[in-house]
Amino acid sequence: MRAIVLICLLHAALPFSWDLSGPIPTLGPGSECVTDSGSCGCCTMLKEMDRLTTYFNTTLNTLEKEYEQTKHSLDKMKASRSAFSASLTNDKTICHGPYNFAKLLSYKRVFINLGNGYSADTGVFTAPHSGVYSLALTVYSDTGAPGGKMVACAELLVNSQLVAGPREGNERDQEDSTTTVVALHLKAGDTVAVNLPSGCFICDDSSQHNTFSAFLLYPTE
């Protein structure tokens, strides 16, 4: 019996393996298991251990491949993150318009600029990745006195083309505001900006009423 245990331990410890591809010994008349059932049991056990080892190695390889694929997908998602949000002014009160010409607005106070797609110098957001983006624009104005003539409006431009133009014109009160939110498919390099059309008037202060935002919902490439 000690010799059988020693054989089993040697199989587990040494780098070589036994050829157990043949049929499992059976207990029957004339078989070696009749005279040495201990050896037969050891061989059967080792064959089962080899089968389980193969199964576990195959399963482990599959899990490792799935892990690498998942990690690659997550790394790709992290690399493609893009979001920005900004308001018109840092702290002091500022007004734009009404002008006799159109003017691109630059939103100076940047809350977040993940991916560095937005430029506070130009007011232009450049899509760093192709995908579906959410674009939002809030327009607010204050005439400073009730009943003053006012048209709070602006235009959301993509590649210099009008996409949406929130507009609120009311001469009976002092303040007006309006908001637009759209989801668009942008290609890498597409530009998004806000235009103040002729005749429009907006004001902002430290309350950050006028905001311009965009973020990537999901990449498409």
Kind of pairing, strands 131-142 and 211-219?
A: antiparallel
The domain boundary, picked from 46, 61, 78, lies at 78
**One domain, residues 43 and 114:** no
Tell me which residue of 151, 211, 145, 147 sits closest to 181, measured CA to CA. Answer: 211
Q: How wide is the angle at C-alpha 157 spanned by C-alphas 121 and 219, nearest 5°?
A: 90
Half-sphere exposure of residue 16, counting CA atoms within 13 Å on the CB side? 3
**One domain, residues 71 and 96:** no
**One domain, residues 18 and 112:** no
Mean pLDDT computed over 142-164: 80
Structure-token pair, residue 107: 């939103």
**One domain, residues 202 and 93:** yes
**One domain, residues 94 and 44:** no
Structure-token pair, residue 39: 């050896």
**One domain, residues 125 and 189:** yes
**One domain, residues 158 and 68:** no
Looking at residue 172, what is its pLDDT?
A: 61
**One domain, residues 62 and 49:** yes
**One domain, residues 137 and 66:** no
The domain boundary, picked from 52, 78, 104, lies at 78
How far apart are alpha carbons 50 and 7 in whole angstroms? Answer: 15
pLDDT at 19 over 80: no
Question: 25-37, pLDDT tens digit by residue?
Answer: 444 454 555 555 5
Question: 69-108, pLDDT tens digit by residue?
Answer: 777 666 666 656 899 999 998 777 888 888 899 999 999 9
CATH number of the domain within which 113 lies: 2.60.120.40
Question: 100-141, pLDDT tens digit by residue?
Answer: 999 999 999 999 999 999 999 999 999 999 999 999 999 988
**One domain, residues 116 and 201:** yes
The domain boundary, picked from 46, 78, 110, lies at 78
Question: Dihedral sign, CA of 109, 115, 119, 125?
Answer: negative
Indicate whether this model's pTM tops 0.75. no
Q: Which domain holds residue 194?
A: 81-219
**One domain, residues 72 and 145:** no
pLDDT at 57 over 70: yes
Number of domains within the chain: 2
**One domain, residues 60 and 97:** no
Question: Dihedral sign, CA of 185, 190, 194, 195?
Answer: negative
Q: How confident is the model at residue 59 (pLDDT cuts 50, 70, 90)?
A: confident
Which stretches within the chain are classed as H helix? 2-13, 32-35, 37-79
How far apart are alpha carbons 28 and 207 in whole angstroms? Answer: 92
Q: How confident is the model at residue 208 (pLDDT cuts 50, 70, 90)?
A: confident
Strand-pairing partners, residue 87, are: 109, 211
Helix/strand/coil for 136? strand
